[in-house]
Amino acid sequence: MAIDWSDYRCKGFHDELFVGPGAARPAAQHLVDYLGSLNTTELAERRLAAELAIKVMGITFTVYSEGRNVDRSWPFDIIPRTIAKTEWQRTDAGLQQRVRALNHFIQDIYGKQQIVKDGIFPAELLAESANFRKQCIGMKPRGGIWAHICGSDLVRDVDGTLYVLEDNLRVPSGVSYMVENRQVTKRVFPELFQTSTILPVDDYPAQLYDMLASMSPRLGDTPTIAVMTPGIFNSAYFEHSWLAQQMGVELVEGQDLFVGDDDCVYMRTVYGPRRVDVIYRRVDDLFLDPEVFHPDSILGVRGLMRAWLKGKVALVNAPGAGVADDKVVYAFVPKMIRYYLGEDAILPNVPSYLCMFDDDRKYVLDHLDELVVKPANESGGYGMMIGPRASKKERETFRKLITANPRNYMAQPTLSLSTAPTMTDAGDIEPRHLDLRPFILSRADSVYVTTGGLTRVAMTKGSLVVNSSQGGGAKDTWIVDLEAA
Convert the pLDDT of each residue in 24-57 to its tens digit.
999 999 999 999 999 888 999 999 999 888 888 8
Which residues, in sequence order, are bridge partners of residue 23?
A: 20
Secondary element (H or E) of residue 166: strand 162-168
- What average pLDDT does this structure show over 60-65? 59
Secondary element (H or E) of residue 184: helix 175-188
Beta-carbon contacts of residue 226 (< 8 Å; ≥ 6 apart): 244, 249, 250, 251, 252, 257, 267, 276, 278, 279, 280
What pLDDT score was predicted for residue 57? Answer: 81
What pLDDT score was predicted for residue 63? Answer: 56
Distances 396 to 178, 197, 359, 455 between C-alpha atoms, Å: 38, 51, 19, 33
Of 79 and 462, the one with more pLDDT: 79
What pLDDT score was predicted for residue 139? Answer: 96
Residue 324 phi, psi (nearest 5): -95, -5
What pLDDT score was predicted for residue 4? Answer: 82
What pLDDT score was predicted for residue 66? Answer: 46
What pLDDT score was predicted for residue 477? Answer: 97
User: CB atoms < 10 A from the CB of 342, how many?
Assistant: 7
What pLDDT score was predicted for residue 380? Answer: 58
Helix axes 237-247, 204-214, angle to 10 degrees: 80
User: What are the tens digits of pLDDT across the range 247-289?
Assistant: 999 999 999 999 999 999 999 999 999 999 999 999 999 999 9
What pLDDT score was predicted for residue 69? Answer: 55
- CA 207/CA 212 separation, integer angstroms: 9
Which residues, in sequence order, are bridge partners of residue 315?
A: 279
User: CB atoms < 10 A from the CB of 413, how many?
Assistant: 15
* Average per-residue pLDDT for the chain: 92
**Residue 114 pLDDT exceeds 90:** yes
User: What are the tens digits of pLDDT across the range 460-476?
Assistant: 888 887 876 667 899 99
Rg (CA), the chain: 23
Contact present, 238 and 59 (Cβ < 8 Å): yes
- What average pLDDT does this structure show over 226-246? 94
User: What are the tens digits of pLDDT across the range 144-202?
Assistant: 999 999 999 999 999 999 999 999 999 899 999 999 999 999 999 999 998 889 999 99
**Residue 381 pLDDT exceeds 80:** no
- What average pLDDT does this structure show over 6-18? 89
- CA 261/CA 460 separation, integer angstroms: 55
What pLDDT score was predicted for residue 358? Answer: 95
- CA 260/CA 252 separation, integer angstroms: 17
**Model pTM score:** 0.93
DSSP string across 366-409: HTTTTEEEEESS--TTTT-EEGGGS-HHHHHHHHHHHHH-GGGE
Q: Give me the percent of the chain exceeding a pLDDT of 90.
A: 77
Distances 336 to 16, 53, 190, 287 between C-alpha atoms, Å: 31, 44, 44, 30
Domains of the chain: 353-414 (3.30.1490.270)
- CA 76/CA 53 separation, integer angstroms: 11
Question: Could you tell me where the beta strands, DSSP code E, fall in 392-471?
Answer: 409-413, 419-423, 429-437, 439-443, 446-449, 454-458
What pLDDT score was predicted for residue 485? Answer: 59
**Residue 70 pLDDT exceeds 60:** no
Beta-carbon contacts of residue 210 (< 8 Å; ≥ 6 apart): 443
- What average pLDDT does this structure show over 382-397? 89
3-state helix, strand, coil in the chain (%, to 5): 35, 25, 40
Q: Given CA atoms 99, 101, 102, 107 in this order, what sign does their dihedral have?
A: positive
Residue 82 phi, psi (nearest 5): -115, 145
User: What are the tens digits of pLDDT across the range 196-232?
Assistant: 899 999 999 999 999 999 999 998 789 999 999 999 9
The secondary structure of residue 337, as a DSSP letter, is: I
User: What are the tens digits of pLDDT across the range 309-363?
Assistant: 999 999 999 999 999 998 899 999 999 999 999 999 999 999 999 999 999 999 9
Beta-carbon contacts of residue 355 (< 8 Å; ≥ 6 apart): 361, 364, 402, 406, 407, 408, 409, 410, 411
